[in-house]
Amino acid sequence: MPASPTFSIAVLISGNGSNLQAIIDAIKNNELDATIKLVISNRQNAKGLDRAKEAGIPTLLVDHTLYLNREEFDQAMLDALTRYQPDLVVLAGFMRILSAKFVSALCGKLINIHPSLLPLHKGTHTHKRALEANDSIHGCSIHYVTKELDGGPVIAQSQVPIYPNDTEELLAVRVQKEEHRLYPLCIGLIAKKKLELVDGAPVLDKQPLTNGGIKFRQSNYDTYYLK
């Protein structure tokens, strides 16, 4: 039997690209059986572009400031994705809101990592807002992207504690450490066809995923599921 082709992904970034790096490293370390076909950035100075080049991955700059409106910017990215035909498109610190057309063209094949325990703290400045709200736990969520901003069905979450004298910076580091484990793991579940979107709802091992998806806690990945 011929070997099935490797699961392919495209990663969209705007900045540092530490999540991109975590995916690159997971592939390199054989923890994730996938290949990154393309990295798109909307910012020329994104450090993630250097990380991609370093790893020998094709890169594309689609500078949103050069387009008349969001639709034309999105169309330029969609054209590139149509050329590369990835199995999955991964938003990793991508900071531009995507149009309904873009999202529906990639329905079930577009995921995002968001630095909060959704549905809490949608949008930006999530660490600051978690501190201001006096939350005692915080974390990150992976979700399928829909036209509702940060409102698509959640696949998995990882929790971290918030300590009394925490700062935004300390919290960001703690959450990002979880992001770097959670994202490759979720991509792996999708690559292995264990996880998919069926009629708008995430399904894991043929069971619908409810209640904010698979739950992880800091340093507790061995247990895989938390009750």
Among 21, 112, 157, 158, which residue interacts with ligand NHR (rule: CB under 6 A)?
Answer: 112
Look at residue 18 and give the partner it binds from ligand NHR, ligand GAR, none, a contact being a CB closer than 5 to 8 Å depending on partner kind: ligand GAR
Which candidate in 64, 114, 121, 125 is catalytic? 114
137 binds ligand NHR (CB under 6 A): no
| Beta-carbon count within 10 A of 65 CB | 8
Residues 111-150 that bind ligand GAR (CB under 6 A): 113-115, 124, 140
Is residue 180 annotated as a catalytic residue, yes or no?
A: no
Compare residues 28 and 125 and give the one whose CB is closer to ligand NHR. 125
Q: How far apart are CA 13 and CA 21, in angstroms?
A: 11
184 binds ligand GAR (CB under 6 A): no
Residues within the interface to ligand GAR (CB under 6 A): 13, 15-19, 48, 92-93, 95, 113-115, 124, 140, 176, 179
Residues annotated catalytic, as ranges = 114
Residues within the interface to ligand NHR (CB under 6 A): 91, 94-98, 103, 112, 114, 123-124, 145, 147, 149-150, 152
